[in-house]
A and B are shown apart, each in its own frame.
Chain A
Amino acid sequence: MEEQLAELAAKLAEVEAKTNVTNTMFAEAYYYLTIPLMILIHAGFLAYEMGASRVKNVLSSGVKNILAFAFMIPTFYFFGWWVYWAFPTGLSLSMGAMEISGLDYANSIALGWGDATAAMGPNINDQSAGVFFGAFALFACTTASIMSGAVIERIQTVGFTILAIVLGSFAWVVAAAWGWHADGWLVTKFGVHDFGAAGLVHAVAGFFALGVLLNLGPRIGKFNADGSSNHIAGHNMPLTVTGLMLIIVGFWGFLMACVIIPGEAWSWYNDAPATIYGTPITLSALAFNILMGISGGVIGAWIYTKDPFWMMSGAFAGIISVASGLDIYFPALAFIIALVAGIILKPCANWLEQRGVDDAVGAVTVHGTIGLFGVIMLGVFASGYPALDAFMGDGVRPTVSLWGQIVGAVVFGLLGFVPGYICSFILNQMGMLRTPEAAEIAGLDPAKVPAQGYPEGIPTSPAASS
């Protein structure tokens, strides 16, 4: 009998070990696969921005995007990842209640030197640090790319790259530490809830772009002496629209990476997926609400503009407008909120343009304005829901509230605008922001890129040339 029990116990241990390995491999593969999905966002941004550029600037727009992506990875490794873990409780860098934040914690897991490197490189005992780092690094790349469309056709490459580093490896990371971390003070003190990063990625990036645009100035020929504006058409709308659809594809990877898989040592729960805040979420919930968000945004933008560029921007706006509450919106409500976002998109973009801001692709509106709209909408509809649930036990949970979401929105907007304005101001004073007028008129490609976008030219159809 005892022998049988011992044998059964050994078999049980073996099954348990195999189950653990399976869960660990699944969790690692899950986050690993979000990385190439998020790289699709950058394929999309490339197509989108190159299509929105005039022929003379097409490759320089592409180079800008590719280089920003490339610089995001090492800078996020050097300091961005550290910022996320060090800053949640605020500038004091103290450890939070969950004990996964603060200076000491960040120094132990997120530095590229010393003992911390055990969690910053290949390690057979660690099947999570690298894929988490990778997912977050791609969030950083996405955030930086949001700015890049607004500033096409007149920004210097290195100046832009420096701005992208400030935005992607610092500004949004501080926002994430404060509003997308269980120890974040915006979450613990104000109940800020932003599951899909509408505020901490999109609003931060959009308002950072606004700060840059105020110093960068409009493209030559955009505005007339009387203040009226001219539409500067990109050379390839089909490429732009296809690029936007690719970004939508990649966003599924972004949003699935926002889910915390169960059953691991770092999971919130053993048997249920959760948000970064430890509140319940399922991929099914995401599927319902992301699809409704995309659709609502497209439909709202179509009825107002009939323009495929704005329809696809509407798809984006739709997702962003419901991103904060993808975990708890009823799908039909998500559709309605997204449709409203699609409708208000073009009027908001026009409003900005009437004030002399040349945002080449509407990034400030789609991401900044709609990002804040999305954060605040959750406060309107979800007041009372616990914003944080991880290991709270009988503790008082911070809850979502309209006031809290407004505070979050203001903080996110400022975290974007202030560094964007200051850094671009400094770069402008150093002569590193705007390209010279002669280069802008002749085209940036001859100045920046040793290749031609269309060496044989773009053939026109006989009907177009007759």
Chain B
Amino acid sequence: MGFPYDTGDWSPIFADGASGVMFMGWGGAAPGFYTFVAVVLCVVVLWKGNKSEHEQYEKLEK
């Protein structure tokens, strides 16, 4: 599980039966954490964007 930092080479990735996963953080909590943060960022961006757009509409209606 995870990248073999102790040997520092890629050969375990290619070994028979290995998962082949090569991105950083595999085997730990990092992927789930990053996915959660990315989802939250998308929601926050949409919320903030919607808010600022409606503020603009209100300015035009005045």
**Chain A residues engaging chain B, CB cutoff 8 angstroms:** 272, 279-280, 285, 299, 302-303, 306, 325, 327-333, 335-336, 339, 381-382, 384-386, 389, 392, 397, 399
Tell which of A302, A330, A336 touches B25, judged by Cβ atoms closer than 8 Å: A330
Hey, which bits of chain B sit against chain A, CB under 8 A? 3, 5, 8-10, 13-14, 22-26, 30-31, 34-35, 37-38, 41-42, 45, 48-49, 52
Q: A384–B4 Cα gap in the complex (Å)?
A: 9
Q: Give Cα distance in the complex from A332 to B41, angstroms.
A: 11
B contact face: mostly helix, strand, loop, or mixed = helix
- A239–B10 CA distance with the chains assembled, in angstroms: 45
Q: Is the CB–CB distance between B25 and A280 below 8 Å?
A: no
Q: Chain A residues near B9 (CB, 8 Å)?
A: 386, 389, 392, 397
B51 to chain A, nearest CB (A): 11
Query: Given the complex of chains A and B, what is the CA–CA distance between A392 and B8 in angstroms?
Result: 11
- Would A397 and B38 count as touching, CB distance under 8 A? no
Q: With A332-B37, A384-B5 as given contacts, are A303 and B49 in contact (CB-CB < 8 Å)?
A: yes
Q: Which residues of B contact A399 (CB under 8 A)?
A: 8
* Complex contacts, B8 vs chain A, CB 8 Å: 384, 386, 397, 399
Q: How far is it, in angstroms, between the C-alpha of A328 and the C-alpha of B41 when the chains are bound? A: 22
A-B contacts, 10 of them at CB < 8 A, read A327-B22, A330-B25, A330-B30, A335-B34, A335-B38, A335-B41, A336-B37, A336-B41, A397-B8, A397-B9
Which of chain B's residues have a CB closer than 8 A to the CB of A339?
41, 45
Report Cα–Cα, A335/B38, bound state, in Å: 7
The answer to whether A328 and B37 touch across the interface, beta carbons within 8 angstroms, is no
Q: Contact at B22–A328, with CB atoms within 8 Å?
A: yes
Distance (whole angstroms) from the CB of B26 to the closest CB of chain A: 8
Q: How far is the CA of A385 from the CA of B3 in the complex (A)?
A: 8
B3 touches A303 (CB 8 A): no
Chain A residues with CB under 8 Å of B41's CB are 299, 335-336, 339
B45 contacts A299, CB within 8 Å?
yes
Contact A272 B23 (CB under 8 A): no
Cβ contact within 8 Å between A328 and B35: no
Cβ contact within 8 Å between A381 and B24: yes
Cα-based distance from A302 to B50 in the complex (angstroms): 12
- Give the distance to chain A from B54, nearest Cβ to Cβ, in Å: 13
Q: Would you call A303 and B48 a contact (CB within 8 A)? A: yes
Most buried by A among B3, B41, B48, B49: B41
The interface residues of chain B lying within 8 Å CB-to-CB of A386 are 8-10
CB-based contact A302/B45 at 8 Å: yes
* CB-defined contacts of A325 to chain B, threshold 8 Å: 24
Given contacts A331-B23, A335-B41, A336-B37, 12 further A-B contacts (CB under 8 A): A280-B10, A280-B22, A303-B49, A306-B52, A327-B22, A328-B22, A330-B24, A330-B25, A330-B31, A386-B10, A389-B9, A392-B9
